[in-house]
Amino acid sequence: MKKQNHSIETLKQAIENLNDLLIISHVLPDGDNVGSVIAMALWLESAGKRVTAVINGEMPPYYRFLEGADRLVPPDAVEHRPYEGVLCLDMSDKERGGRVWERVGGEPTLINIDHHVSNEGFGDYNFVWSDASSTAEIVTFLLTEWGVPLTRAIAEALYTGIVTDSGSFTYPSTSPRTMRMAALLLEEKPRLEAIRENVLENVTFKRKKLLAAVLERAELSCGGRLCHAAIDHDAIAALGATGPDFENIIDHLIGITGVEYAVFFREMEKDRVKVGFRGRGGNDVTVAASRFGGGGHKAAAGCSFTGSLEDAVKEILAVVRAGLEAN
């Protein structure tokens, strides 16, 4: 059963009572995650808090232009000690914090701010809006409600988060509130040209080669309604591809004419497969993702599969196809 959200004022008071905070991103961080962590870290530091902000994986190079990105530290650099509070941003569940938790001592207050529909409210204090376009949208709302001055650096980080997680304001989760929050951020004059060039336009040759390899492996089924692709660890190693290179790869599968459901399988290592799901036309991809211990949003979800790449493809596609055939 999902926990009730705490009020805006209760959440604010909880954060104000904490002076030593660890802010963590989920594993395989994306633009929404990075932008939200940077924005909260900049605000809390300006409020005189002791802040350790974590990038839970390799920093995607296209977000390094953001002011404050260089102060995010990897999990191995986090001090192994007690913390008063841990602020979890854009994490559908506590486990998405990965190995960072191994370095957290004591019994810190957990604050959970997120927009995933599968989030059950794992924090001591929770603020989860599953209808929000992004966690960055929620953070923008909270900061403005709390009367926090939005600097250009904070606005730039949050605007980047909203742009990336809303599909440049085109995904169904984009709402009038999304646009109002974006308008507030635009008043602080974030560098739109820098966001466009770094996030939307500049793609490394390696990422292009990876996309070519994925599309070469793509297959259609269910009368063209389902597209899937699977890439093994050896092929990934040969390309030199790493975590950030895979961001948005699946969008090229769901973007094919007639495709309503896309699944992308990436073999991380032996017997461990990362699986991404995308849907449109009313298909709820969390149904299949949750069958394998994952979650996310109706149109975008993910899970991890323990077993071979071949077994992952066989078992997961059987569930997906059954669901499509039932519709």
pLDDT in tens, 165-178: 998 998 889 999 99
Spell out the domains of the chain, with CATH numbers in brackets.
8-200 (3.90.1640.10), 205-326 (3.10.310.30)
Q: What does the pLDDT read at residue 1?
A: 64
Q: What is the mean pLDDT of the chain?
A: 94
Q: Do residues 142 and 113 make contact, with C-beta atoms less than 8 angstroms apart? A: yes
Give the pLDDT confidence of 39-73 residue by residue, as tens digits: 999 999 999 999 999 998 888 888 999 999 999 99
Amino acid code (one letter) for 283: N
Alpha carbon 172 to its chain centroid, in Å, reads 17
Q: What does the pLDDT read at residue 129?
A: 95
Sign of CA dihedral 73, 76, 77, 82: positive
Burial of 327: CB neighbours in 10 Å, binned 0-12, 13-18, 19+: exposed
Give the bridge partners for 238, in sequence order.
none
Element at 261 (helix H, strand E): strand 261-269
Give the pLDDT confidence of 188-240 residue by residue, as tens digits: 999 999 999 999 887 889 999 999 999 999 999 999 999 999 999 999 999 99
- List the single range of 24-28, 132-136, 191-195, 284-288 with lowest mean pLDDT: 24-28
pTM of the complete model: 0.84
Phi, psi of 205 (to 5 degrees): -60, -35
d(CA 80, CA 114) in angstroms, rounded, equals 25
Q: What does the pLDDT read at residue 128?
A: 95
3-state secondary structure (DSSP) of residue 8? helix
